A and B are shown apart, each in its own frame.
Chain A
């Protein structure tokens, strides 16, 4: 079964750090671009970051640029999001998503992991 499972979320104080993980299974992880998308409670989806299949290209939303770092370990079939200098407005469910091959869409999503930034 093709699957993405996020982990690493939790409660963190403003200014703190957290690293999210996304474990992939059921497909050749190293063949796919991967993304992070977040959703604040009761709000809409917001794109966060992407990484090329080999890790050589990354992009970030302006709101997280310089604070978040996306990376991947293809040997471990795992995607990461290192989040530093966290702010209250970063509070959200974070989803990892796979790019539908050859398209600009996300066909496989994880169940999400909740990040709460609060003192």
Chain B
């Protein structure tokens, strides 16, 4: 199972919005609404930010939103804040009853 494709890095200034893409195939992202997004700060465990494409867990800021079109899912962060600087990973359930993660995107807040 190949990793989902994410940009290696994105950046934005405080207050701006950024979008991170996550491209898979019809066997994973495109075939199921089980796409999730995780935030990971250095040396820390990942934190769930979006589940099942569009849903936010309790306690996650509404500045984070998710969407999907075809085989590509996206995470949008609006009103960027310094604390948003982290690595972000997407994940999807697959046709093989396994899970696959994206390669990760490093978000830099300028």
By a beta-carbon cutoff of 8 Å, the part of chain A in contact with chain B is 35, 37, 44-47, 50, 59-62, 95, 100, 103-107, 109-112
> Contacts A35-B99, A45-B104; is A105 near B32 (CB within 8 Å)?
no
What is the 8 Å Cβ interface bit string for chain B, positions 84-110, against chain A (1 contact, 0 not)? 000101011100011111111000000
Is there an interface contact between A62 and B1, defined as CB atoms closer than 8 Å? Answer: yes
Interface of B is mostly: strand
> What is the number of residues of chain B that contact chain A, defined by CB distance less than 8 Å?
29
Q: Assess the A107–B51 pair: CB atoms within 8 A.
A: yes
Identity of the chain B residue whose Cβ is nearest the Cβ of A109 in the assembled complex: B45
Residues B32 and A107 in contact, CB atoms below 8 Å apart: no
Across the interface, B57 reaches (CB within 8 A) one of A61, A107, A110, A112, namely: A107
Chain B residues, CB < 8 A from A61: 1, 98
Residues of B within 8 Å of A111, CB to CB, are 45
* CB <8 Å contact, A47 and B100: yes
Question: B residues engaging A (CB < 8 A)?
Answer: 1, 3, 32, 34-36, 38, 40, 45-48, 51-52, 55, 57, 87, 89, 91-93, 97-104
Closest to B98 in A: A59
Q: Which residues of the partner chain A approach B48 to less than 8 Å between Cβ atoms?
A: 100, 105-107
Instruction: Report yes or no: A104 in contact with B1, Cβ–Cβ below 8 A.
Output: no
Among B1, B51, B104, chain A packs the most CB atoms within 10 A around the CB of: B51
